[in-house]
Structure 1
Amino acid sequence: MSIRTLSTREVYRNHWLSVREDQIERSNGVPGIYGVVDKEDCAVILPFEGDTVYLIEQFRYTIQERALELPQGGWEQAGVDPEELARGELREETGLVADTMIYLGSMWIAYGFAKQKQHVYLATGLTPGETEPDPEEHDLVLKTATVAEFEQMMMDGTIQDVCTIAAWGLYKMWKERQK
């Protein structure tokens, strides 16, 4: 290991995350400090039917803007089955129930300062139902786009969510290998 942790101190905690400050020593002996955001695993879901991609629009406080993205989130508890989480988030945010969930992979979100893994699922065979949003998600709006529109929104900056863009990349690589 090239960095040794000398001490850890939790500086903040709420229902969704904790922040810690680690005193470290690098392999060259130089001391330093790391601020780390710890969050439980989450999921991002690509609900896809025919040529239609289902998206969520919501206000994102950190950027003070409404953002368009794939359904995603976590349950703030350890040990949750990733597929169960993905199915739950899909239902909560969109009301959609998927016949099939295909695991496309996982990725670390912003591991330069955060410890959170996101599991990526392709959801197909979609049946509409009732949404079950969390209190923080009261302003969610379900949107649809064709694949061409979706890709254009990523290219022109309408969609800037890295998790959405990365999930689409995993899907495209998975799809290419299905041939």
Structure 2
Amino acid sequence: MSIRTLSSREIYRNPWMKLREDQIERSNGTPGIYGVVEKDVSAIVIPIEGETIYLIEQFRYTIQQRCLELPQGGWETSDVDPEELARGELREETGLVASSMIHLGETWIAYGFTNQKQHVWLATGLTHAGTDPDPEEHDLELHTATVAEFEEMLVNGTIQDNCTLAAWAMYRLWKERQKESGK
């Protein structure tokens, strides 16, 4: 390892996250501090039917803006089944139920300061079943866009969520490989 942990202490905790501060020593002997946000696994879902993609708009407190993004979130528990989590987030936020869920992969949300992993899912065969939002999700708005409109929003900066962008890149690569393999 190029960095050795000398000590670690919890600074703050709430139901959604834990913040710890680690005293470290780099391989060259230089001391330092790392602040680490610990969060449980999350999921992001690409709900797509034909050329229609479903998006969520919500207020993001940290940047004081309403943001458009793919449905995503976590359940504040470390032992959740990733597909169950993805199906639950899809239902909570959009009111949609998917007959097919394909796991496209996993990403680290922002490993420069958090250890949160996010599972990326493709949801198809969608039916409306009614939303079930958490209290924190009181202001969610469901939007639809064509794939072309969605991609334009990624390019022109309407959508700036890195998780949405990463999930879409993963989907496009998966889709291209499906074409190449004849599936």
TM range (shorter): over 0.9
Q: What amino acid sits opposite 2:171 in the alignment? A: Y
Q: Which residue of 1 aligns with 2:27?
A: 27
RMSD (Å) for aligned C-alpha atoms = 0.4
- Structure 1, unaligned stretches of length 5 or more? none
CA apart distance, 1:110: 0.7
C-alpha separation in 2, matches of 1:37 and 1:3: 18
Separation in structure 2 between the aligned mates of residue 80 and residue 135 of structure 1, nearest angstrom: 20
Could you tell me how far apart the structure 1 residues matched to 2:26 and 2:118 are? 28
Q: Please list the CA deviations of residues 18-40 of structure 1 after superposition, one character each: whole Å capped at 9, or x if unmatched.
A: 10000001111111100000000
Q: What is the aligned residue count?
A: 179
Residue 149 of structure 2 corresponds to: 149
Match of 2:37 in 1: 37
Matched residue, 1:134: 134
Report the 3-state secondary structure (helix = DSSP H, G, I; strand = E; otherwise coil) of the residue aligned with 1:7. Answer: strand
> Pairwise mapping of residues 7-86 of structure 1 onto structure 2 (< 5 A)?
7-86=7-86
Q: Distance in 2 between matches of 1:56 and 1:172?
A: 20
Superimposed CA distance per residue, residues 90-110 of structure 1 (whole angstroms, 9 cap, x where no aligned partner): 000000000000000000011
Q: State the 1:61 CA deviation.
A: 0.3
> TM-score, length-normalised on structure 1?
0.99
Cα distance in 2 between the residues matched to 1:123 and 1:64: 29
Equivalent in the alignment of 2:124 = 124
TM-superposed deviation, 1:79: 1.1
Which structure 2 residue ranges, 5 or more long, are not aligned?
A: none
CA distance in 1: counterparts of 2:125 and 2:110, whole angstroms: 31
Partner of residue 178, structure 1: 178
Query: Does the residue aligned with 1:92 lie in a helix, a strand or coil?
Result: helix
Cα distance in 2 between the residues matched to 1:5 and 1:47: 41
Q: What code does the residue aligned with 2:92 have?
A: E
Q: TM-score, normalised by structure 2?
A: 0.97
Identity %: 74
In the alignment, the residues of structure 2 paired with residue 104 and residue 160 of structure 1 have an alpha-carbon distance, to the nearest angstrom, of 21
AA in 1 matched with 2:175: K
Partner secondary structure for residue 178 of structure 1: helix
Query: 3-state SS of the aligned residue for 1:114?
Result: coil
Letter in structure 1 aligned against 2:27: S
The whole-number CA distance in structure 2 between the counterparts of 1:19 and 1:48 is: 35
